[in-house]
Structure 1
Amino acid sequence: MKNTSPPRKYSIKNIKKTPQHVVDFNFYSFEQFLKDAEHLTKSHRHDFYTFVLTVDGVGSHIIDFEEYEIKPRRLFFINYDQIHSWKLDGPIHGKIILFSKSFYNLIYTGNSDIRSDTALENLPTYVDIEEEDFSSWLSVCGHIEHEFKKSEKFSEEVTCLLLKTCVLKMERIAENSNPASSRTDHKSMLVDAFKKLVNVNFRELKTTSDYAHELSITANYLNSLVKESLGKPAGTVIRNRVILEAKRLLSHSDLSVRQISLELGFTDNSHFGKYFKKSTGLTPDTYRKNSINN
């Protein structure tokens, strides 16, 4: 039987052997990163942010149970605590940037477009960079690598600013791919606030009305805003977050289904089972058995 113990959580310092002073930031070529890193093909978490820019290679990247193809000019963003692993079918070339919240906030700004608690939380899992724009991304990565290796006066500050550049550039690509997401009016601010509330409160609050109350608007208005912005009802966003956490716990913990139902705010075990099956088509026990056997 496959071990269901929790996936290991890595820091920047221990994900690979690094110099003693490396705590909040590191930079690797993909080839360098994969040396002595067989453990990273197993599901694991990070207590840091990661940018992965692929130049070429074959394989896939599994992030929170979704499998994404590795392909040229694809930029991945991995958030804190996401469960992920790699399936590599050959050599990969690219750049990997690891950085903590404290490092990103080294230079503080009140601009919500680049604050860590807003911009980074809203970045997509990946974007595909146009060929004509790719050289500018490689240039930014080159500058970051240069500052990291030189470690001169203000190198950390310059690197922090370059990271903020990456965030803005990635968000711009995402918005160009989905123009409806580029609004910065009051409506989009409400949708962003809703997403943050769901991520923090999904264990306790599970209805659109709960979140509408928190935002001081009606449930119908919140549902309309979310559907317009995200293409799905507010209730689906809430349910998806609960189910994601349930899948994480079923696949990567030794908690019983009863304990998981309590962890997710369900006082009735049968209610959790029906809730899970409605979204996945499987009972929690069946999902766990399938994940163990895969």
Structure 2
Amino acid sequence: MNMFHGQQLVPVHPFKPDEASGSKLLTIVRSEGELAYEADMLLPHRKAYYLLVFVRHSPGCHWVDAMPYVRQDNTLYFTVPRQMLVKEEAVPSWSTHLTFSEEFLALQQNAALRTLPLIQNPHNGHQLNLTAADTAFIEEQLLKLEAEYRRPGEWQHRMLSAHLTVLLTYLSRLYTEQYASQAPSADHLLLRTFRAKIEECFRERHEVGAYAELLHLSAGHLSEVVKAQSGKPAIKHIHERLVLEARRLLFYTSDSLKEIAFSLGFADASYFNRFFKRETGRTPAEYRSSARKMYQ
């Protein structure tokens, strides 16, 4: 797998609509054994859009946030914009790729989709294992989406939104079952909001009090609710997000430890070193070395 070196930034691939389809905010592509080769996918990158891939058969391995996934038949893989991805090699693929932009979710008629667990992805998941019944249902919904995708016109967007709502709702049910998400409640919604704020601000805000201020709550109340809902202290959520981003940068880039520390809001690189070791049991340099040995 290729890595980035020096001052190269991990690229963010924008959403690319298929103008011929008539849909500017959603794409769907079926592969029937083609050699899926996109050179820029073989380098670490992020996507500025949501991606669902229903894999019927596609041998090989890819990585998401430094976690390897050996692709399995009849499995659903999904990514959200913040995750870091890389493919190991180009291989023939029998699969269906569905992408949609953040602008699609921003539309008023799609507001409910933004709250679905699959879209929120609080567990930073990527893979959904499917039963035979799940596979049949998902294939049916994808065929309906494909049919509408090839039928430009006044009603296309509404029909695509309707079919996608059914698909994402079904997948979110699988997500909650497989990732053990808790049932929604006022406190659970607060936990979701807290996690969303962490996603927005983790580079600048490292303390629970800073998030409590954003949410117009006391730090004590926020800590109490987050601990009760997630089983982890609020500060742990902040630290885990910092560690995840640090691992991404250590694994996928050759940025210096000082550069990574500063990009994550640590004024002192030595403090970042101590923080990372306290949270993971290894220094950043030790983690980078051991992680990259997997490719040697």
Band of TM-score, shorter chain: 0.7 to 0.9
Alignment coverage as a number of residue pairs: 289
The Cα of 1:189 is off from its aligned counterpart by 0.8
- Distance of aligned partners of 1:177 and 1:133 in 2 relative to their CA distance in 1, 3 Å threshold: same
1:129-188 CA distances to partner (integer Å, 9 max, x unpaired)? 222232111111001111112223321221122222222111111223456x34221111
Contact 2:117 2:176 in 1 (8 A): no
CA distance in 2, matches of 1:22, 1:276: 44
- Distance of aligned partners of 1:208 and 1:104 in 2 relative to their CA distance in 1, 3 Å threshold: closer
Report SS of the residue matched to 1:204.
coil
Partner of 1:12: 15
TM-score between both structures, scaled by the size of structure 2: 0.82
The Cα of 1:258 is off from its aligned counterpart by 2.0
Contact 2:23 2:152 in 1 (8 A): no
Partner of 1:42: 43
Stretch deviating more after TM superposition (43-52 or 68-77): 68-77
The Cα of 1:59 is off from its aligned counterpart by 2.8
- 1:218-229 maps to which residues of 2 (within 5 A)? 219=219, 221-229=221-229
- Distance of aligned partners of 1:46 and 1:116 in 2 relative to their CA distance in 1, 3 Å threshold: farther
Report SS of the residue matched to 1:150.
coil
The Cα of 1:190 is off from its aligned counterpart by 0.9
CA distance in 1, matches of 2:74, 2:131: 7
Partner of 2:114: 115
RMSD of Structure 2 on Structure 1 (CA): 3.2
Contact 1:2 1:292 in 2 (8 A): no
- 1:210-289 maps to which residues of 2 (within 5 A)? 210-217=210-217, 219=219, 221-253=221-253, 255-289=255-289
CA distance in 2, matches of 1:199, 1:117: 17
Matched residue type, 2:158: E
- 1:145-224 maps to which residues of 2 (within 5 A)? 145-177=146-178, 181-217=181-217, 219=219, 221-224=221-224
Report SS of the residue matched to 1:53.
strand
CA distance in 2, matches of 1:266, 1:232: 23
Contact 1:3 1:292 in 2 (8 A): no
Contact 1:40 1:85 in 2 (8 A): yes
The Cα of 1:241 is off from its aligned counterpart by 0.8
Stretch deviating more after TM superposition (247-256 or 271-280): 247-256
Q: What is the percentage of aligned positions where both structures have the same residue?
A: 23
Partner of 1:103: 104
TM-score between both structures, scaled by the size of structure 1: 0.82
Q: Which runs of 5+ in 1 are unaligned?
A: none
Stretch deviating more after TM superposition (51-60 or 270-279): 51-60
- Distance of aligned partners of 1:3 and 1:176 in 2 relative to their CA distance in 1, 3 Å threshold: closer
CA distance in 2, matches of 1:39, 1:110: 32
